[in-house]
Every structure is written in C-alpha cells, then in structure tokens.
Amino acid sequence: MTKRYISLNSLNLVTDVTVGDKTVSIRFKGGVNTPYRINGSFVTANKVLQEAIESDSSYGKSFITYDIEVPQPEKTASSKVVNKVIEVPSIKTAQMAIEWVRQNLSVDLASNLPSLKIRQFAVLHGYDFPKLKIK
C-alpha cells in the first residue's frame, strides 16, 4: 500500500530515519507558498520504510501521514492514464468552494482566490466543482 507523508512546517524538508542498521534520508518535496501554502510531501510503498518513518521520534511533530492510500491512476483502453476525480455538484460559488476545501481537505485557501485557482486546487486533490462559475 502506498502512503503519503507531509511536512507540518516546511515547504521542503530533509530528515533522516533509521531503517534497521542504516540511516535513510527522506526528502519531502513539492511544497509551494502561492497561491496557497502546500507543505512538502514524501510518498513510498516500501512497508519497512513506512514502519521506520512512523516509529521515528519526529513523526507527529515534523511530519505526519497525509492520506493512507494514494489514488493510483487507471489505464483506459487507449492506454492513457486517467486519474479519478470526484465531482461535487453542490458547490456553486467561490465561497462555498473555499469552505468545502477547509472542511474536507483541511486547507485554508485565501478568501480572494479566483474561482479558476480554487477549481484547479480541487482537481489537483481529486475533486471537481463542475457548477462553480469561473470568473
């Protein structure tokens, strides 16, 4: 099973964990500060490494498990990779979308963020607001 871990305070974080008798450097990458803050993340399917990360003294303080299972792309008949996106048709305004993201994804988006950026953020996280009017 693939797990994703996120840094709690850093856009990018490098930390060491002990795996058996070896020290392994873990790199949390991909953090951005605009238009909304997303901290760096690390993804692995290695069960031994997952156990080492989750038993590390920094676990819960510097980084946590973001989601237990990372959605895997699925192949279509034409061999194109398509990610599943869950539509949320009840979202019609930017304010509704910002509140939904806050409640369901635990991310505070800026209140003046354009509808297009909100929708792009949602799609990036596996959701879409098809009735959200783009201004």
Q: Is residue 75 part of a domain?
A: no
**Are 35 and 62 contained in the same domain?**
yes
In this structure, is residue 134 part of a structural domain? Answer: no
pLDDT digits (tens, 9 = 90+) for 74-123: 554 543 444 578 888 899 999 999 899 888 888 887 788 888 888 888 88
- Does 100 reside within a domain? yes
- What does the pLDDT look like over 7-23, one tens digit per residue? 888 888 999 999 989 99
Structure confidence at residue 70 (pLDDT): 44
Rounded mean pLDDT, 115-135: 84
What does pTM read for this prediction? 0.51
Q: Please, are residues 62 and 9 in contact by the beta-carbon 8 Å criterion? A: yes
Range of the domain at 107: 81-128
Q: Between the ranges 31-35, 53-57, 83-87, where is the mean pLDDT highest?
A: 53-57
Q: Is residue 13 part of a domain?
A: yes
Buried b (16+ CB within 10 A) or exposed e, 54-77: eebeebeebbeebeeeeeeeeeee
